[in-house]
């Protein structure tokens, strides 16, 4: 527990000022806890973003496979394959 709760009197400081200091300490303490929670949530969110991007990259790669197997026209197949590989690379690089 902080020293602010154990001190009964701070010399020439009136009781009202001491009470204000205690209130400000409580506000700052609560804000610290909120920021710790926010940092934890941010890490979890970033993990979710990473998983989502990996999933999307894999989907684009499977589309590239499908485009290479299913399209009869060579030019269209190459273009579609290049496009989906680029989309997968974008998500992987993020």
Please indicate, yes or no, if residue 62 is contained in any of the structural domains: yes
Closest of 27, 32, 23, 28 to residue 5, by C-alpha: 23
State the pTM of this model.
Answer: 0.57
pLDDT at 77: 66
Per-residue three-class SS string for 8-50: CCCCCCCHHHHHHHHHHHHHHHHHHHHHHHHHHHHHHHHHHHH
18 in any annotated domain: yes
Contact at 8 Å (CB) between 64 and 91?
no
The total number of structural domains in the chain stands at 1
Q: What is the pLDDT of residues 14-58, one digit of tens each?
A: 767 878 888 899 999 999 999 999 999 999 999 999 999 999 989
85 in any annotated domain:
yes
User: Could you tell me the residue range of the domain that residue 73 belongs to?
Assistant: 13-93
The residue written with tokens 């684009």 in the block is 60
| Within-domain flag for 5 | no
Does residue 3 lie within any of the structural domains? no
């Amino acid at each position: 527990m902080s020293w602010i709760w154990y001190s009964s009197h701070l010399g020439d400081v009136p009781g009202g000022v001491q009470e204000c200091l205690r209130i400000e300490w409580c506000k700052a303490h609560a804000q610290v806890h909120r920021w710790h929670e926010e940092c934890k949530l941010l890490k979890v969110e970033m993990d979710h973003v990473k998983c989502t991007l990996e999933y999307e990259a894999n989907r684009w790669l499977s589309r590239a496979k499908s485009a290479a197997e299913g399209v009869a026209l060579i030019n269209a197949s190459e273009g579609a394959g290049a496009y989906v590989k680029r989309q997968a690379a974008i998500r992987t690089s993020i």
